[in-house]
Amino acid sequence: MSDRLPVSVLLLARDETQYLAALLPTLSFAREVVVVWDPRGDMRTREVAEQHGAKVFSREFSGFGPQRQFALDQCTQPWVLWIDADERLGQDAATRLAQFIAPGMEHSAIALHRVTYFLGEPIRHCGWQGETLVRVFRREGAKFDESPVHERLGTPARTLVTSDVVLTHLSYETWDQCVDKPRAYARLGAAKAFAAGKRAGLFDVVWRPPLRFVRMYLLQWGVLDGARGWLVCSLGAWQVFLKYAELWDRTRRERLGR
C-alpha cells in the first residue's frame, strides 16, 4: 500500500459490471477506489467493485453533480482521480501522474486529453477533438456543483493541462447505447434548463436540431469522420431535439398550470 500514489479514485456506477471488471485492475496504483453505486442497478456491479477492493457506498442517483459530490466526500487521499466506468487511462498513466502530483507542485488540478470512441473507432472531429478535462485534482477545496448533468468541478488555484496522460472514452460501443444515452442526457438537460429559468418555444424545437447538425458536421468537420461522423452529428441533433421538445412541453404545462 505504501508504494501506491496518494490518490482516491472517484467512480459512479449502476449497471457497469463488465466495464468495472476491466477498469478496476488498471487502478491498482491508487491507494483507494471509491465507488458510489446506485442500488436500483445491477447487484453484480457492486459485487465486482467489492471483489476488486473498492470502497463501495450505496446511494440512489439524484443527478451527476450531487452524486459526485457525495463520492468526493468519501475520499480520503490528498489527490482525487475522477474517472467513469467506460473510460481508460493510458499504460504509462501511473508514472506520469506520480510526476505531476509530486510534492512541491504548484498546480491543484490536472486536465487530461480525452479521445472518445464511437462504435469501435475514435472520433477525431465533430467537436470532440482536442478535448481536455480536469480529472485529477487536490481534494481540499474541491467541490462539484448541484447540476443534474454536465456538472462542474470547482478547484482552487492553478490547472496543469497535459497531453501526456490520455483518457480513452468508450462511450458508445453498441447501437443500444447510441439510442439510450442521448435520450437520458436530453431529459436531464431539459430539467437543468427548466430549473435555471429557461423556457422553449417552437423555434427551439424546429431550428436548434438542424443548426446543431450543421455546426458539428460542417463547421466542426464531422464530415471527415466518415459514416461514423454523420451518425455522431445526427445523434447530437437528435439529442438537442429531445431536450428542447421536453423543455417546450414543460413550458406548455407551466402555462396551463399543470
User: 217-228, pLDDT tens digit by residue?
Assistant: 999 999 999 999
Three-state SS at 158: coil
- CA 94/CA 27 separation, integer angstroms: 9
Tell me whether strands 153-154 and 79-82 are parallel, antiparallel or unpaired: unpaired
| Best CA proximity match to 213, nearest among 126, 107, 112, 100 | 126
| CA distance readout (Å), 44 to 17, 18, 19, 40 | 6, 9, 12, 12
Confidence of residue 157 (pLDDT cuts 50, 70, 90): low
User: 187-204, pLDDT tens digit by residue?
Assistant: 999 999 999 999 999 999
What would the grid cell of residue 126 be? Answer: 465533430
Q: Residue 1: is its pLDDT beyond 60?
A: no
Q: Residue 38: is its pLDDT beyond 80?
A: yes
Specify the residue for cell string 398550470. 257
- CA 70/CA 82 separation, integer angstroms: 13
pTM: 0.90
One-letter amino acid for residue 13 of the chain: A
pLDDT of residue 2: 61
User: 77-128, pLDDT tens digit by residue?
Assistant: 999 999 999 999 988 899 999 999 998 888 999 999 999 999 999 999 999 9
The overall average pLDDT reported for the chain is 94
